[in-house]
Amino acid sequence: MNTYPHERPRILLHDPTLRDGHHAVGHQLDADQLRAYAIAANTAAVPVVEVGHGNGLGASSLQIGRSKLDDATMLTTVREALTSSRMGVFMAPGWGTSDDLEAAVHHGADIVRIAAHCTEADVTERHLGVVRDLGAEAQGVLLMSHMTGPVELAEQCALMVKFGAQAVGIMDSAGYYLPSDVTERVHAIADAVGVPVIFHGHNNLGLAVANSLAAVDAGATVIDATARGFGAGAGNTQLEVLVAVLERRGAETGIGLREVLAAADIAADRLMEAPPSIDSIAVASGLAGVFSGFRRPVLQTAQAEGVDPIDLFLALGERQVVAGQEDLIGVVARKLKAAAR
């Protein structure tokens, strides 16, 4: 089936396997693992390979997990492996700094994404300007985007464009969206900005590929996806599946299907103990609208406090807890424990 009989739209697939995937392994990928996947992705002509701690530049810490390698080592390792693919990095103000951005570009980052909570695009102004001044491509993304509606997301994205973002978009950080949610939001953003629109999906409710297709149909031209869906919780949009589906629809990605399937096999063999799956915890996280990266600390805290992890996810959702508020997991768990007595 060719959905686009008269025109083959170009969809740029952005691969954060070596960044978002870090959430699934406690940020413990080593240099050999990074290198092996980067070489495979480069061979498959994946346009952008993103690398770093799961929470981005400067985020390695006791609070959210120390990475096995420092940022410089990760970036240098992947940069050396990419002969044609561009290298991307991710930074959220509050974890990373302008010094981190300067170092990342020095180590060869071509694309720098500055992230903010979905209603706080104003915090990206300074760092988007820094990226532009450094000569890298500046992009802006809104996290936990289900927490507000299409109008505000469009306004926030337009603000990031004003600050210098050359592409903007949304992350379904909790895997909460239905395709209709994506359609409304991406369409509103595409109408409000004159730069490429980004969509980043998670698979908690099994809809990451469907949501990515909805984003494309609504005007997004930059879609994030990882090998085997490697990522926090139920994982991300699965790269090799999305490449195949887009090929069936007649969209152009420039990625070799056989080669990206081989890269996915390398990811499965070298990066992860087991591919992400949609278990009860992943579903609870998606329904509650809680950041998928909370899976490990929620399970650990629930066990330590003797509470049901599903109840804990739902309670965190009611509190609208976001990444960076990991300390609240214990607080909420203890309240649940006390209420059950």
pLDDT tens-place values along the chain, 341 residues long: 444 444 667 999 999 999 999 999 999 999 999 999 999 999 999 999 999 999 999 999 987 889 999 999 999 999 999 999 999 999 999 899 999 999 999 999 999 999 999 999 999 999 999 999 999 999 999 999 999 999 999 999 999 999 999 999 999 999 999 999 999 999 999 999 999 999 999 999 999 999 999 999 999 999 999 999 999 889 999 999 999 999 999 999 999 999 999 999 999 999 998 889 999 989 999 998 998 778 888 889 989 989 999 999 899 888 888 776 777 888 888 888 888 87
Burial call 30-69: b when 16+ CB within 10 Å, e when fewer: eeebbbbbbbbbbbbebbbbbbbbbbbbbbbeeebbebbb
Q: How far apart are CA 217 and CA 209, in angstroms?
A: 12
User: Where do we find the tokens 């909370």?
Assistant: 294
How does strand 167-171 pair with strand 137-143?
A: parallel
Burial call 306-330: b when 16+ CB within 10 Å, e when fewer: ebebbbbbbbbbeeebbbbebeebe
How distant is the alpha carbon of residue 296 from its chain centre?
17
Stretch (H or E) spanning 114: strand 111-117
Q: Which two tokens stand for residue 241?
A: 């599946």
Beta strand extents in 152-294 (DSSP E only): 167-171, 197-200, 222-224
Tell me which residues are annotated as active site.
23
pTM: 0.93
